[in-house]
Amino acid sequence: MVSVSVPGKLILIGEHAAVFGRPALVAAVGLRLRVTVAAGRPGDPGAVRIRLPDSGAEAVRSWSEVLGRARRAREAWECYDRDPGPDTFAALAAPAAGASGAGPGGESLGLLELALGEAARELGEDDPERLAPVALTVASEIPIGSGFGSSAAAAVGVVMAYLAFRGAALEPARLHRVSLEVERRQHGSPSGVDNATVLHGGTLEARRLPSGEVAFDGVRIRSRLLEGLRVLGTGRPAEATGAVVAAVRGLRDREPARVDGVLDRLGELTVRLREELGRPDERPAEAVAILREAEAGLEALGVVPAPVGELVRRVEAEGGAAKVSGAGSLAGPGAGNLIVYHPDPERIERWGFLGGCRRYRVELGVPGARVEGAS
């Protein structure tokens, strides 16, 4: 048996811009997902048992089904990669969900099957008749679809746990590469920033290279700026992350000059925020200006629905700043997480207009994925 734990993540700035090679600042957060892979039941050859105790969802699959679903998802992604668009993304989502897309926990079960299939493929395990039964259990504190990187944590966690269970080497580059393949089946063209952050932990500046690899650099935090941030949940987005990313890509294809200008500016704001985090003194006016302009950029990309934009305007009227963290949404009412900042953070707690939002108490910059037990 092997157990691993993986943190969630929070994008501070640079979402969507990171998909197109601009930098993003991302922090691992103190909400963790735990994966256990154990030997399956004796006399149950080839079976894969998946259990999600948080939702009560369970599935029993043969290795043939798991490997087949991973193969179909890979083929669908290759079609999407050749011709990215709404239709090819919809075709990608079908094998990713599969029969397990219905019912409580269905999305998670489908993702876990894909992660297990990709991990087995990495080890050259393509003959289902020769694979021993395994039991996979995933428990998570990370809300699904809220911008905390639940799918990246699941991808990294399952890949890491299965490779460790098989006694394979756990080089970070290998874990990143395989888990990114899982993320691609879920999101189409992810930047790779999410799984890099949950794998390595801390606070990172990450940038997608033309090769598709992610370069990252640890960020030294000297300012107390992050202590003034509050994270609120506005509700689960109406669309999957991949659909929102695909929509932004489509917008860029139609309006390349305007969208590239927005993305360039978001990259510049990322650099400015990193400089602020490295200062020994906090400059509230500069932090407000950076976060407000970053939010304006996301609104220009069409990923902030009107109800969330109205909340942001009310925060700004109180002298603060708020921005969507994560992919956002194309329609209301929710858009995932909202980062809220005010020079006097205690005032945020008293704003009644935020009463409909879920408030998260999360530590930022926590350790990354790790093996917590093996026997």
The 10s digit of each residue's pLDDT in 2-52 is: 999 999 999 999 999 998 999 999 999 999 999 999 998 766 656 899 999
Tens digits of per-residue pLDDT, 342-366? 999 999 999 999 999 999 988 999 9
Mean per-residue pLDDT over the chain, rounded: 91
CB 26 within 8 A of CB 11: yes
CA–CA dist 282, 288 (Å, integer) = 11
With a CB cutoff of 8 Å and minimum separation 6, the contacts of 169 are 163
pLDDT at 96 over 60: no
Considering only 44-48, 169-173, 301-305, which range has the smallest mean pLDDT?
44-48
Q: Directed axis angle between helix 256-277 and helix 284-300, to 10°?
A: 160
The pLDDT of residue 242: 81
Fold of 2-221+364-374: Ribosomal Protein S5; domain 2 (3.30.230)
Q: Per-residue pLDDT averaged across 223-247, rounded?
A: 90
How many Å from the N-terminal Cα to the C-terminal Cα in the chain? 5
Percent of the chain's residues with pLDDT above 70 = 95
What is the average per-residue pLDDT within 141-164?
92
CB proximity list for 47: less than 8 A, separation 6 or greater = 40, 41, 60, 61, 62, 63, 133
For residue 228, the one-letter residue type is G
Mean pLDDT of 102-112: 66
pLDDT score at 214: 82
pLDDT confidence band for 284 (50 / 70 / 90)? very high
Say whether pLDDT at 193 is over 90. Answer: no
What average pLDDT score do residues 169-191 get?
Answer: 92
| Element housing 52 (H / E) | strand 47-52
CA dihedral 63, 99, 236, 178 (to 10 degrees): 30
pLDDT value at residue 45? 59
**What is the band of 90 on the pLDDT scale with cuts at 50, 70, 90?**
confident
Separation of CA 288 from chain center: 25
Give, for 216, the enclosing helix (H) or strand (E): strand 214-218
Write the pLDDT tens digit of every residue in 312-333: 999 999 999 999 998 999 998 9
For the chain, percent of residues with pLDDT exceeding 90? 74
> Span 53-74, mean pLDDT?
92
Distance separating alpha carbons of residues 231 and 88, to the nearest angstrom: 34
Residue 106: the pLDDT is 54
Task: Look at residue 46 in the predicted model and tell me its pLDDT.
Answer: 66
In the predicted model, what is the mean pLDDT of residues 112-130? 94
Rounded Cα distance, 23 and 18, in Å: 6
Average pLDDT, integer, range 265-281: 96
CATH of domain 225-360: 3.30.70.890
Return the C-alpha torsion angle 20, 22, 23, 27, nearest 10. -30
Q: pLDDT at position 100, please? A: 41
How do the domains of the chain map onto residue ranges? 2-221+364-374, 225-360
Give the pTM. Answer: 0.88
pLDDT given for residue 99 in this prediction:
44
Q: Do 2-221+364-374 and 225-360 fold alike per CATH?
A: no
Angle between helices 86-97 and 172-187 (to 10 degrees): 110
C-alpha–C-alpha distance, residues 132 and 136, integer Å: 13
Count helices and strands in the chain by DSSP H and E runs: 10, 12
- Whether residue 104 is predicted with pLDDT greater than 50 in this model: the reply is no
What pLDDT shows up at residue 143?
A: 87
Question: What's the pLDDT score for residue 289?
Answer: 98
**pLDDT range class, residue 101, cuts 50, 70, 90:** very low
Query: Angle at CA 59, nearest 5°, toward 56 and 60?
Result: 145
